[in-house]
Amino acid sequence: METKHEPEKFIVSIGPQHPALKEPGHFEFTVDGEVVTNATARLGFVHRGMEKGTEARNYVQDLYLMERVCGICSHVHAMAFALGAEKLAGVQAPPRAQAIRELVAELERIHSHLLWLGVAAHEGGFDTLFMFSWRDRETVMDLLELISGNRVNYSANVLGGVKIDINDTQRDALHKGMDFLEERTHHYMKVVTEDETFLGRTRNIGLMTKAQAQLLGAVGPTARASGVKFDVRVDSPYAGYADFPVKLITEPAGDLEARFVVRINELYESYRLVREIIDHLPEGELSVRMPRRIPEGETISRVEAPRGELLYFMRSNGTDSPDRVKVRTPSLCNWASVLTLAVGHKLADMPMILAGIDPCFSCNDRMVTVNRGSNAENWSWEDLRKYGIAYYK
Amino acid sequence: MAKKIAKTPEELLQIGKEALQTWILSENTPETNRLDVVIDAKEIKNCVRALIELKWGYLSAITALDRPEYVIVEGSTQKTVVPDKGIVELLYHFCNHAAIITLRVSLPYANTSIDSICEVIPSATLYEREASELLGVEFIGTPSTERLLLPDDWPVNVYPLRKSFTGLDNKNKNEEK
C-alpha cells in the first residue's frame, strides 16, 4: 500500500542568546526530514558600535577599545590597530617589540586552537577530549599571565612598541610549557586521525572543495583545510614574521577531519616559533616615541588571527582621533561557507559543522525551536547536541 | 610539469590593473603592494566580474566611508556637518596574497544607490547589509535587506556611522513607538 504525501518541512531556529560563551548569533535551518535545505543567519546581538566609538576617542584610548573587540583573540586586534596607526604616523616599532608581538600572537593562537579543540570535541560528544584539552590549555593561559599579568586582554601593545619584556625565569617557564604541550599534542593528533568513533563524526563531513572555499571567501584554517594556500603571516609578513617566518600548513581533504589536522599542525608550528623567538630575541628598546596627532592618510593593516585574516582599514585626518576605523573579522568571511555547507547535511551534523569553522560566536546554546507543523517543539542547543550524539550511536 | 613561479605583488597588481583598464578613472598607490582605482559607480559589477573571472584574489571587505562637507562655526574653531552635502565612499578591497586592489566609488548623498555585486560574489551580502544599515547605502538587487546588525527597534533612516549621527535622542526613540 502506498500513500502519497508531501515531505514534511520545518524550520529549526538556533540562538541567539547564550550565557556561557560570547558573541551571540541567530540561525535558522530549514530542514526536509533529516536533511538541511536552507540556512540563514542574523548577527549583531553584540553590536557595540565600536567603529563609531573610535572616532570619539584618541588613538591611545582606541588601542584599549580595539583590544576588546574579541575576548579570545584580543592581542591580534590591538596589534593590527597599533601596526596601522604606526604606518600612518610613519613610525616603526623596534625589532625586539616586533618579536614580542609575534610571541604573544603565537601564544594566543595556541590557547585559541586548544580552546577550539575542546569546544569541537564537546559538540561531538567527546567530553574526555574536551576536558583534557582545556586542562592543557591552562598551561598556556598561565604562561600568558606570567608574561603579561593577564589571562585575557594581555594588553601587550602600546603605540610604537610593546610594554612587556621577557626575562630568564619567563623564558624557562615558556620552554617547559611548550615541551609539555608538544607532548600532549602528539596524543591529540593520534585521537583525531586514528580514533574510529571520532572519525565517524569528522571524515567526509562538511566537505568544502578548494574552489568553493575560494568562491565563498573562506579564510584561515577553514580555507587551509581545503588546500587554499593563504596565510597572511606567510604572504605579507608583519610584526616579527619576517625575522621569524612561519611554515604554511594546508590539507587537501576539505572535510572536518582536515580542519582538525590543520589546526593541530599549526599548534606544532606555534610551539616551534615560541621557542625560536625566546631563544633569539633581538636586543634593544621595547618602544619608540609615537606622535599624538597623526597626519592625514589611509592604510590597510592585515594580520592572521587564529581564525584567519583580520583586516583593519584606517583613515586618519591630522588630529589625535581616527576619521574611520573599519574592522573585518575572519569569522564574518567564514559565515558564508558554513551557511552553504550546511545545505544537504543532516541536522545531527550541524553542531560539528558549525564548530568546525571555529566561529567566534558560540552563541547558539540557549534555545532551538523545532516547528513541526502545528506541533512546535522547543529544544535547547544541548538537546540538539545530544540528538546528534544519539543519532550516531 | 614546470613548477609555477609565484608572482611578485607588483606583477599581481599589474595584471589586476590591466583587467580593469577600461573603467579606471584615476589611480593611486597609497602604500607598497596596494593600488587604489577610482571607478564610476555604474561600472562596479563589471569591475568585480573582471577580477573574479581572472581569479584575482578575493573580496576581503567593503569599507564604507562617510565624507560630509564641513563648515566652521563663526566665532569658534568648531566644525559642523553641512546636511545634504557630501558623499558616501565605498571601498571594495580585493586581496591577492600581499597585493591589495581597492575599487573606490563615490555616491552623493542625493543618490546613495549602487548595483549589488551578490550576483558575482554571493557572500558579499553580509558586507552590503552592513553598509546599508550603518551608512544608508542602497544596494540594488541585493538578496536580503533584513536587519543584520542594528536592533529591531532602531528608527528608520538613521545611520549610525554617518558623521552627522551623534546619538539617538528621545524624539527618534518615540517616533518608533
pLDDT tens digits along B74-99: 777 777 787 778 899 999 999 988 99
Give the three cell numbers for residue A245. 617566518
Can you say whether the dihedral through the CA atoms of A301, A303, A307, A309 is positive or negative?
Answer: positive
Could you list the pLDDT tens digit for every one of the 393 residues in chain A? Answer: 445 555 556 787 776 654 334 456 677 788 888 888 888 777 777 777 888 889 999 999 999 999 988 888 899 999 999 999 999 999 999 999 999 999 999 999 999 999 999 988 888 889 899 999 999 999 999 999 999 999 989 999 999 999 999 999 999 999 999 999 999 999 999 999 999 999 988 898 888 899 888 878 888 999 999 999 999 999 999 999 999 999 999 999 999 999 999 999 999 999 999 999 999 999 999 999 999 999 999 999 999 999 999 999 999 999 999 999 999 888 777 877 777 778 888 887 877 777 777 766 432 222 333 334 444 455 666 777 777 777 777
**CB atoms < 10 A from the CB of A190, how many?**
10
In a domain, A298, yes or no: yes
| DSSP sequence for A207-275 | ---HHHHHHHT--HHHHHTTT----HHHHS--TTTTTS-------SS-SHHHHHHHHHHHHHHHHHHHH
User: Which domains, ranges and CATH numbers included, belong to chain B?
Assistant: 9-164 (3.30.460.80)
Are A132 and A218 contained in the same domain? Answer: yes
Decide if A121 is inside a domain.
Answer: yes
Query: Which of B54, B58, B88, B102 is best to mutate for the A interface (most A CBs within 10 A)?
Result: B58
- Pairing state of beta strands A35-42 and B113-115? unpaired
The mean pLDDT value of chain B amounts to 87
* Of B30, B98, B127, Cβ closest to residue A236: B98
pLDDT confidence of residue A237? 94
Same domain, A364 and A251: no
Domain assignment of residue A1, yes or no: no
CATH of the domain at A366: 3.90.1010
Q: Which long-range contacts (CB under 8 A, 24 or more apart) does A247-250 make?
A: A248/A224, A249/A224, A250/A224, A250/A225
Query: Is A86 in the same domain as A218?
Result: yes
Q: Under 8 Å CB-to-CB from B175, ≥6 apart: which residues? A: B155
Residue A40 is predicted with a pLDDT of 77
Q: Are B91 and A297 an interchain contact pair (Cβ–Cβ within 8 Å)?
A: no
At residue B135, the pLDDT reads: 92
Q: Which residue does chain A place closest to B125, by CA atoms?
A: A336
Within-domain flag for A221: yes
Query: Residue A58: which CATH number?
Result: 1.10.645.10
Apex A331 CA angle, A38 and B50, nearest 5 = 80
DSSP A131-163: HHHHHHHHHHHHHHHHHHS-SS----EETTEES
- Choose the final residue of a domain: A285, A306, A328: A328
Same domain, A150 and A278: yes
Whether residues A194 and A214 fall in one domain = yes
Answer whether residue A194 is part of any domain: yes
At B36, the pLDDT band (50, 70, 90 cuts) reads very high
- Phi then psi for residue A151, to 5 deg, are -80, -35
Among A353, A341, A356, A273, CA closest to A307:
A356
B143 touches chain A (CB under 8 A): no
User: What per-residue confidence (pLDDT) applies to A374?
Assistant: 40
Residue B129 · residue B68 · CB < 8 Å = no
pLDDT value of residue B108: 93
Domain co-membership, A148 together with A277: yes
Same domain, A30 and A86: no
Q: Which helix (H) or strand (E) holds A276?
A: helix A256-279
Instruction: Determine the residue of chain A that is closest to B149 in CA distance.
Output: A44
Per-residue pLDDT, A332: 79
Peptide bond into A16 cis (omega under 30): yes
Candidates A23, A26, A235, A312: best to mutate against B (most CBs of B within 10 A) is A235
| A347: containing domain | 9-45+334-391
One domain, residues A32 and A65:
no
Q: Per the structure, how many domains does chain A have? A: 2
Higher confidence at residue B66 or residue A25? Answer: B66
Which of A328, A363, A382 marks a domain boundary?
A: A328
Among candidate residues A328, A345, A370, the one where a domain is terminated = A328
A4 in any annotated domain: no
Cross-chain Cβ contact B165/A52 below 8 Å: yes
Q: Which amino acid is at B160?
A: P
Structure confidence at residue A380 (pLDDT): 64
Residues A57 and A107 in one domain: yes
Do A362 and A241 belong together in one domain?
Answer: no
For residue A2, being part of any structural domain is answered with: no
Instruction: Say yes or no to pLDDT of B132 above 90.
Output: yes
Q: Are B90 and B104 in contact (CB under 8 A)?
A: yes
Nearest-angstrom CA–CA distance, A293 and B177: 43
* Residues A121 and A234 occupy one common structural domain: yes
Same domain, A297 and A348: no
**Pick among B126, B127, B129, B154 to test the A interface (most A CBs inside 10 A):** B126
Whether A379 maps to a domain, the answer reads yes
Residues A339, A219, A181, A278: what is their CA dihedral angle, to the nearest 10 degrees?
A: -160
Q: Does the beta carbon of B71 lie under 8 angstroms from any beta carbon of chain A?
A: no
User: pTM value?
Assistant: 0.89
